[in-house]
Structure 1
Amino acid sequence: MKSLYQNAQNAGYWYPRLTLFALETILLVISSWMLFLDGTEVLNTVFHWNLTHGNAGRNLLLFILILIVFVRMKFTMFYLLRRAMPWQEAFSVPAAFSLYYIVIPLLSLTRNKPLNGWDIVFAVIFVTGSIFNSHSEWLRHLWKQKPEHKGKLYTGGYFRYSVHINYFGDVLWVLAMALTAWNAWALLVPLWLVCFFAFYNIPMLDKYLAEKYDNDFEHYRKKTKTFISFIF
């Protein structure tokens, strides 16, 4: 009986993760098809769009950024994320990431913009956001591995500057990708993400943290910015 229970737990742990991995891999393939193969011709024919082939250097840069995001998120999902993953998340996360893997490249392909010095700035923003997001999670993971920290609230590392510094990192790397597309419409993607975090995800998570950590979280929240370091 115990073995059956453990198998059910393992299934609940792995199946949603593997589903999410498969869906994001499909998105990655579609992105490469658009940026490097005959995707633009097919889309122009089917939907009567007017996509260009883009700029080869910009296409490569965008795909490298997408690939870095893919690898980081899979490391988080399979190694750092120990909680169970609900099936809703297995489908909602790829739906959101389609904005980054498909919509932003599509908007980039509406024009042929050569790489320039600004793209170095965008790359720096991307790296900064990636560090805020992934390295903060890694440091928290190491801290929680110690037995004396079991059940305690982590407020160190990057989280001393913002309660949700990892979400701020998400906004930065998404903003960098949108800027790399050189299409003003792409900026709606990070704007949507800011609204999603500020008005839905952060309030929901703050409620959970307040219930779990009680006074410790209230004290932490009063002395620390919520989302954007030193600002909000």
Structure 2
Amino acid sequence: MSLYQYKGKSMPQRIVLTIIQTVILATSGWILFGGEETLNSWWGWTLGPGNGSRQLMLLILYMIVYIRMMFTIYYLLKRSIHWEEAFSIPFAFGLYYIGFSLFSLTTAEAITIWDGMIVLLFLAGSWVNTFSEWKRDQWKKRPENKGKVYDEGLFKYSTHINYFGDVLWVTALALLTRNPWALLIPLLLICLFVFYNIPMLDRHLEEKYGKDFVEYQKKSKKLVPFIY
């Protein structure tokens, strides 16, 4: 519960998190553009060169994720970051960057209009996640809203709409690899949200806002708008 209770800059943790994220992003770029031969020789794998256009598309999308993460860490996230988070958060994103990069090397399929639709899904998920949190941040800055539950904007449709955005863009990256096994990663993310993050955060919010949060939950879905 202490994960959500304390505010603070915790700048050393944020810097360490940023450094690790940057190294992981650079590693994914190496994997996408030439690293497969080294990995094959190290581990005895049979990774192929993939498709250059697909690899470039993935790397660009990774960079968008990276920029949004930096915006969240240094601007939107007001609570302190614990040392375990400074290492666990990059681990999760390493699973995305490196995992999806490896999966993408198993196919040489050319880019099609289907991939363009997947990119739109990625952009939609990214917008849902970052825009919803930015609007909440702006709302909380107003003095008259202090101590109130934010149930406006996209959060009107889901108590954890930002998590739903995460599910969308991670699923899009999985689909872009053209490897069905990559879908295990967003499935794992959904399980993490449903069975760990959401219950923990809900307990914290109910303790903080009391019956106001309980009433808000009755009017909103938990994760997927209009469904769950």
TM-score (norm 2): 0.95
- Residues 38-187 of structure 1: pairs in structure 2 closer than 5 A: 38-187=34-183
* Cα shift at 1:111: 1.8
**Corresponding position of 2:29:** 32
Work out the CA distance in 1 between the residues paired with 2:160 and 2:79: 18
Gap regions ≥5 residues in structure 2: 1-6
Work out the CA distance in 2 between the residues paired with 1:84 and 1:76: 13
1:159-199: per-residue Cα shift (whole Å, max 9, x none)? 00000000000000000000000000100000000000011
* Cα shift at 1:223: 1.1
Report the secondary structure of 1:225's partner residue: coil
Gap regions ≥5 residues in structure 1: 1-8
Report the secondary structure of 1:194's partner residue: helix
* Cα shift at 1:98: 1.0
1:115-162: per-residue Cα shift (whole Å, max 9, x none)? 011111101110111111000000001001111111211111100000
**Corresponding position of 1:20:** 17
Moved over 6 A (4+): none
**Corresponding position of 1:212:** 208
* Cα shift at 1:13: 1.2
* Cα shift at 1:106: 0.3
Work out the CA distance in 1 between the residues paired with 2:83 and 2:48: 37
**Corresponding position of 1:202:** 198
Work out the CA distance in 1 between the residues paired with 2:176 and 2:88: 25
TM-score (norm 1): 0.94
Letter in 2 for 1:30: T
Letter in 2 for 1:166: N
Work out the CA distance in 2 between the residues paired with 1:164 and 1:51: 38
- RMSD over aligned CA atoms reads 1.1
Equivalent pair of 1:16/1:90 in contact (CA under 8 Å): yes
Asked if 1:221 is matched to 2:217, the reply is yes
Work out the CA distance in 1 between the residues paired with 2:18 and 2:98: 16
* Cα shift at 1:210: 0.4
* Cα shift at 1:228: 0.3
Equivalent pair of 1:51/1:111 in contact (CA under 8 Å): no
**Corresponding position of 1:6:** none
| Greater relative contact order, per chain length (Cα 8 Å cut-off, separation 6+) | 2
Equivalent pair of 1:178/1:189 in contact (CA under 8 Å): yes
